[in-house]
Amino acid sequence: MKTGIQRSALIWTLTVCFFANTWGQDSTQKKWWKESVVYQIYPRSFKDSDGDGIGDLKGIISELDYIQRLGVNVVWLNPIYSSPNDDNGYDVSDYRNIMKDFGTMADFDSLIKGMHARGIKLVMDLVVNHSSDEHEWFKQSRSSRTNPYRNYYHWWNAERGKPAPRYSLFDVNHDAWRYDSLTNAYYLHYFSRKQPDLNWENPRLRQEVYDIMKFWADKGIDGFRLDAFQYVSKDTTFPQFPVGYENKFWLYYAMGPHLHDYLKEMNREVLSKYDVMSVAEGAGNSFDDAHALVDADRKELNMAYAFDGVDVAKKEGYSLLHFKEVFSRWDSAFAQNGWLSIFLSNHDQARLVSRFGNDSPAFRNPSAKMLATFIMTMRGTPYYYNGDELGMTNIGFKKIEEYRDMSMLNEYQHQKDLHADTIAFLKEKSFDSRDNGRTPFQWNKERNAGFTTGTPWIEVNPNFKTINVETEEADPNSVLIYFRKLVLLRKSEPTLVYGKYELLDKENPDVYSYTRSEKGHQILVMLNFTSHEAMARTGLDLTGKKLLIGNYATPSRSGRLRPYEAAVWEMQ
């Protein structure tokens, strides 16, 4: 018979073991945001309801049935708050209001109601590394050195001399310190001059942000995507960085001294009080950084959104071996703890199929489907950017006048100031510029692809007559129809969500093969990333196995894959 002390020691040991076990395995813990498929909408380019050439909330509302039919159950909306639109909404002038171009708060309320009625959750972009210079806080802050809002931003009085250099991603001369004669001081802006950085070291500012988050969470939203958040904490003594730091500025900007304190505070004050998902843009500079942001016991964020994968194809051409290596490395680093986002495109990237697949008429369809198969069968929450479900392609602007993205226009000016080769610059940008992913959504064959009755704010891709929702709805072989089937598969197969990932045939330069397995159930994925036939050497026998999905009408059991073939097999 056990004594009371022995019994409580036993209970204690069992409790510790139980928690150690769950702490050690948070990647298998069930959560709705792990089982979701996220669809990202760039509101400016999705659907215009009033003919001003700019997409809006009523436009999205009119297409909620389309979104529901995709099968996705979370929508991430790029910023819709009041903004002078220096950076298409990433410069917020009022966090509690809707941008005029996009509509009203009543529209927002209808939008969220319509989404929830269809079982779709809404994630909002939270842009709080910086605000717009037209935000009331900044107007106050710059008005005098003693204004109560002065410390909402980073100011450096000019009589101290010029502060140590800081690189600006978007400024025309990349100088992140902007002199303001009104108070004879410099303010900091990591992005454009119209995006002054907020001072997170100020507890009042932090409370303001938490109040804003509560305002939206109380309206019923289901999550936050924290824009550029890894940069918020700064060493406000602004020390000198080593020569050449600007080529690796992220190593100096990300994961500042108090970042985790702020995230823990935000979690305590807001995130833990609502059933919301949270994801920050970027995942630091190492696996340790990424884990420190998202492991469950950290009580900070839910999932990491790391750029290593999407960065594999920065320029034209990339190696599949490198691609496999990056995704496999990230997966194994997150096999026990933490959770990843899986994506290959967003509003800051060129189009998925142009970048990672093959957008020529012969291969656009199979390669877009193959890439979708990859994203939907990896471990981690899939993020799909609007238009990629149609296989929309890069527009490849040739002339600077065609561009709208402020960061592109400023960089072009910068290159000109340096007397650099602007022709080479334009050539590179026609492939990788952000505007490639921002051209209007292609709904039908009508004028402006059915996006607007007015003049679109950015040119419509001339290929809209063949690539559009209406045409693809009617074609059983379209990328759109395949995408829907794939989403259904993802949602009905827990193994695709939680199952262990194992890379097969690692050295194969053409084919990416892997298994996902859980509780005796195994799924095999084989993807030919080339425009020629290629042999998958998985060592697995496909005789008698069931094809769950594939992008060719007849499955091939030999392991010989046709150009861009994707095949997903149930093995046991």
Name the DSSP class of 280.
Answer: E
Identify which of 255, 247, 309 has the alpha carbon closest to the alpha carbon of residue 285: 255
* Cα distances (angstroms) measured from residue 88 to each of 85, 93, 159, 194, 212: 4, 12, 35, 12, 20
By the rule CB under 6 A, 171 interacts with ligand GLC: no
CB 459 to ligand GLC: min, Å: 19
By the rule CB under 6 A, 565 interacts with ligand GLC: no
CB 406 to ligand GLC: min, Å: 8
By the rule CB under 6 A, 39 interacts with ligand GLC: no
Distance CA 273, CA 18 (A): 25
Distance CA 106, CA 401 (A): 36
Report the 10 Å Cβ neighbour count for 416: 13
By the rule CB under 6 A, 281 interacts with ligand GLC: yes
DSSP letters along 140-182, please?
HHHH-TT-TTGGGB-EEEGGG-PPSP-B-SSSTT-B-EEEETT
Contact in structure between 430 and 316 (CB atoms under 8 Å) = no
Phi, psi dihedral angles at 122 (to 5 degrees): -120, 125
Distance CA 179, CA 182 (A): 9
Shorter beta-carbon distance to ligand GLC: residue 135 or 490: 135
CB 31 to ligand GLC: min, Å: 24
By the rule CB under 6 A, 90 interacts with ligand GLC: yes
Residue 241: which residues within 8 A CB-CB, separation 6 or more?
164, 165, 252
Q: How many residues does the structure list for the chain?
A: 572
Out of 101, 281, 300, 472, pick the active-site residue.
Answer: 281
By the rule CB under 6 A, 228 interacts with ligand GLC: yes
Residue 368, H or E segment: helix 364-377
Residue 212, H or E segment: helix 203-218
Let me know the angle formed at the C-alpha of 229 by 141 and 274, rounded to the nearest 5 degrees: 100
Question: Is 281 considered catalytic here?
Answer: yes
Shorter beta-carbon distance to ligand GLC: residue 111 or 228: 228
By the rule CB under 6 A, 191 interacts with ligand GLC: yes
Q: Buried b / exposed e across 455-468, counting CB within 10 Å, b at 16+?
A: ebbbbbbebbeebb
CB 190 to ligand GLC: min, Å: 8
Q: Which of 26, 56, 87, 197 binds ligand GLC (CB under 6 A)?
A: 87
CB 40 to ligand GLC: min, Å: 10
In the Cβ-directed half-sphere of 408, how many Cα atoms lie within 13 Å? 26
CB 383 to ligand GLC: min, Å: 12
Distance CA 45, CA 60 (A): 10
Identify which of 392, 317, 395 has the alpha carbon closest to the alpha carbon of residue 355: 317
- The amino acid that residue 398 corresponds to is K
Shorter beta-carbon distance to ligand GLC: residue 87 or 107: 87
Shorter beta-carbon distance to ligand GLC: residue 42 or 464: 42
Shorter beta-carbon distance to ligand GLC: residue 77 or 549: 77
Q: Which of 127, 460, 486, 489 binds ligand GLC (CB under 6 A)?
A: 127
Out of 63, 87, 227, 510, pick the active-site residue.
Answer: 227
Shorter beta-carbon distance to ligand GLC: residue 177 or 229: 229
DSSP letters along 416-430, please?
HHTT--HHHHHHHHH
CB 292 to ligand GLC: min, Å: 21
By the rule CB under 6 A, 197 interacts with ligand GLC: no
- In the complex, residue closest to ligand GLC by CB: 90
CB 339 to ligand GLC: min, Å: 20
Q: Applying CB under 6 A, what is the total number of residues that bind ligand GLC? A: 9
Shorter beta-carbon distance to ligand GLC: residue 347 or 404: 347
Shorter beta-carbon distance to ligand GLC: residue 101 or 281: 281
By the rule CB under 6 A, 529 interacts with ligand GLC: no
Identify which of 326, 352, 287 has the alpha carbon closest to the alpha carbon of residue 503: 326
CB 409 to ligand GLC: min, Å: 13
Q: Which of 101, 227, 300, 565 binds ligand GLC (CB under 6 A)?
A: 227
Question: Is 227 considered catalytic here?
Answer: yes
Shorter beta-carbon distance to ligand GLC: residue 228 or 568: 228
Identify which of 157, 307, 281 has the alpha carbon closest to the alpha carbon of residue 225: 281
By the rule CB under 6 A, 348 interacts with ligand GLC: yes
Per CB under 6 A, residues contacting ligand GLC are 87, 90, 127, 191, 227-228, 281, 347-348
Question: What is the set of active-site residues?
Answer: 227, 281
